[in-house]
Every structure is written in C-alpha cells, then in structure tokens.
Chain A
Amino acid sequence: MSDNKQFVATASGVIEHDHNHDGVNRRGFLKCMAWAGTGALCVVEAGVLKSVALGAQLGSSKKQPTASQLSFVQISDSHMGFDKPANPDVVATLKAAVDRINALPDAPEFILHTGDITHLSTPEQFDTVDQILKSTNKEVFFVPGEHDVLNDDGAMFRERYARNSKGAGWYSFNKNGIHFIGLVNVMNLKAGGLGNLGREQLEWLEDDLRAVKHSTPIVVFAHIPLWTVYPQWGWGTDDGAQALSYLQKFGSVTVLNGHIHQTMQKVEGHVTFHTACSTAFPQPAPGQAEGPGPLKVPADQLRKVLGITNVNYLKHRHALALVDSSLE
C-alpha cells in the first residue's frame, strides 16, 4: 500500500484472494471507522484496495471512472425512530446521506437499501424514510432487516416495497447487463442460530440463476452478511454457504450486506463480499465490546463513522468497484 492512511488488519483477516496477482498481501478486515476517521475513501477495484483522499474523489475527474456502465448506491441501517445517545437525530444523518448521494459526480441510477429501514417497523417510521429518500429522485430497492418485520412477519414491508416478490420478500431484476438478487435472511430465525434464508428461498435462488449466463455480473444484496463475519454476535447466515454455492460458476459476484454498521470486505475467488456503514449509528468492531449494541462516539465524530457505498460497474473490468464514503 503506497498510501499513508491507516487501516486495521487482523490475524483473523480473510481478504486472501489476489485478483491481480500483484503480490500484495491483503489479509485483514478493513474497517470503515479507521478509514473514515481520516476522511479517506475505501476503494476496491477489481479486488485491489486503494485509498483516495476525499477531495480527490469528489472534486477531480482524474480518479473518476469515465466509462462506468452502471453506477448505483447502497445505503443501509437507517433505523428510523432510533433516538438514543448514539445518535439522537437519525433523520438528520439520513438526510446527510441523501445529500452525499445527490453530490456524487457519477450520478447513480438507483439505490439499494439493505435493511433496518426503521427501528421498530411502524408506518410512521417507514413514511419518514420514504419521504427523505424521495429527494434523490431515484428508484430504491429494499430488502428487510430484522427491525422491519417486527410484529407482522414482514407483511407491511412487502406491501410497501416488495409487492411483486416471492415468499418473504425476495426478488431479482436486471439492470444494464447486471443481474441483481435481493434476499431475505431475517425471517424465521432459529434459537441459537444466525441469519436464515430457508429451503424455499434457496430453491428459488437456484432456479432464478438457471437462466443467467455465467458471464453476467451478479449482485446479491441482503441485510445480514451472507458470509460469517462474527458468529458470536450473530453476524452471519446459517445457510449462506448454500446460497453461495449456486454462485460459484459465475465470473463476477458482488455480495452487499448491512447489519453490522461498519464496512468490511472479503474477496474469495470471483466473489466480493462487502458490508456498508449505517446512516444511523456505528457498532463496535467484532469482539471489541461486550456486545454488538450501538457504539457511542463523540458527537463531532459521528458522521465520520456513518456513510454510503457507491458501486460502479466498469466496462472491461472483472469486478465492480466499491467506494465507501463517510457522511463527513
């Protein structure tokens, strides 16, 4: 790494695959908080990690992909209704995320929200998020988090955001040559277990992928990480490996998740796993606190640990480029 930004790599790190065979050892989880605090962006292009100064990314065209075939944004964990000390104003930070989206030089075509839209699944909380996201003038695709399906098994979520979905709310669609798959792994969770897709959804996924060419880039998005990040805190999906086995034959797979309120990245074969920051509050790095509850940071630091993820699909590139940027 030629940059002078700090990032955290642990011995338990899992970024092992070297797409570009450049000999760079990238073992380690990459943690948004360490990066964002320095005002840096975390850029991953074709498996290569780079850091770009915030001003350069947003202000200069030199670093910008000019041949982007598709640009979209992932936001996550807006937790509308949360009002505890970790962030007493989640409306303001979601609005800041929208400002961030609207200021992107390469205008995104749409937005993915990877769940925990609300804190307590109330209609008012859903309404507030819808109202704020409206000012992006973008289509938004949602998958539910466990906070969005609290008292009705997700009926309200599906009525609002997934009317044409299957089962608990899963669906797929195509955009600019990319096949997108929204999965639901927050329903029917088993005591002692992790996230759960279930047999019916797995069968649908296997069937859905049958008609997709192996050269088609795939983007899978779901709330809880499909890879095992930290099972002690429930940060993984019990039958995620089964889902991923159906994706092995595809040349480019990007898995976008939320839930853990911090960015992490892993590249395994042709599969890139990435989690986005929350727009509401951060959570501790795995094992770095007694539990995974909201992490309270000084008020003037909060927006540095919240953020959005911009995803660019570039022509002639193998993997999608993921750019995390903090709200401040």
Chain B
Amino acid sequence: MPTPRSQLLIAMLGLALILAVVLPSATAIGQPAPTPATEVKVDNFTFSPEVVTVPVNSTVTWTNKDDVPHVIASTNATFRSKGLDTDDHYSFTFTQPGTYSYYCSMHPKMTGKIIVQ
C-alpha cells in the first residue's frame, strides 16, 4: 500500500500533468478573455486616439500614416521606437498597470497616453 504521503505526491503529479495538457490549449483558444491588439494611428502630426485604455498584457501598435517620419518615445524611457517612416509600425506590450505618457521625439508637440489597467 502506498503511504498517504506518496498518494499525495501521485495526486499532485497527476494534477500537474492535467494542467500541462489543458493550460496551453486554454491559452491558445483565448481563455481567459483575450487582450485585443490596440491600434494607434499617427496621422497629421497627431496620435489617434490620443488616450488609449487597455488591460494589462495588451500590445499597442502605432502605425505612421504621415509623409514624414515619427518616433514613438515614452516620457520615462520605458519604450522608444526607431524612426518610423510612412506605413512603418511599432508595437509594445504593456505588462504592468499604470499610465504611460509618450510623445514623438522629433515633433514633441505630439503627445499621447496609454492607460494600462
């Protein structure tokens, strides 16, 4: 007869096995609720929308629709893109809640905010 202690060990191993099988597929089919990618358009020297609120672990993608390049830069250096030419993209995934102010380091009058909840 297995001791109670080894029974517990077997049960835990079994649970781990089940989780290992179930969890990745759960993630793949989007459970819990998916975090939709959020788009910010850079157009006519403005960020649109200017303020975006997203859940934690969201990825925000900026697309430059202007005829001139822009640089997406957070004011506290959390993230910074390279120079984005027309139709170039830049993405950043926000893993921590908080308010992230950013601007274009080439045209600093352009400002925006990502609120991560």
Binds A, one of B11-19, B29-37, B53-61, B68-76: B68-76
Given contacts A86-B67, A192-B103, contact A150 B82 (CB under 8 A): yes
Q: Is there a chain B Cβ closer than 8 Å to A120's Cβ?
A: yes
Q: What separation, in Å, do the CA atoms of A232 and B67 have in the docked complex?
A: 19
Q: Number of residue pairs across A and B with beta carbons under 8 Å?
A: 59
| Those of A269-302 within 8 Å (CB) of chain B | 290-294
| CB atoms of A147 and B44 under 8 A apart | no
- B residues less than 8 Å from A189 (CB atoms): 105-106, 108
Most buried by B among A86, A147, A191, A294: A191
Is the contact region of chain A dominated by helix, strand, or loop, or is it mixed? loop
Query: Which residues of A lie under 8 Å from residue B101 when comparing CB positions?
Result: 191
In contact, A193 and B108 (Cβ under 8 angstroms): yes
Please determine whether A234 and B109 come into contact, CB atoms closer than 8 angstroms: yes
Query: Chain A residues near B71 (CB, 8 Å)?
Result: 150
Q: Mark B79-114, 1 if CB is under 8 A from A, else 0.
A: 000110110000000000000011101111101000
Task: Collect the chain A residues with CB atoms within 8 Å of residue B109's CB.
Answer: 192-194, 231-234
CB-CB under 8 A from B86, the residues of chain A are: 84
Q: Is A190 an interface residue (CB 8 A)?
A: yes
Task: With A191-B101, A234-B108 as known contacts, state yes or no: A290 contacts B67, CB within 8 Å.
Answer: no
User: Known contacts A120-B83, A192-B111: does B44 contact A291 (CB below 8 Å)?
Assistant: yes
Report Cα–Cα, A290/B43, bound state, in Å: 11
Q: Looking at B101, B102, B108, which has the most chain A CB atoms within 10 Å of its CB?
A: B108
Given A190-B108, A191-B75, output 18 extra A-B contacts at Cβ < 8 Å. A82-B67, A119-B69, A120-B83, A146-B106, A146-B107, A147-B69, A147-B106, A150-B69, A150-B71, A189-B108, A191-B101, A191-B103, A191-B108, A192-B108, A192-B109, A193-B108, A231-B109, A292-B45
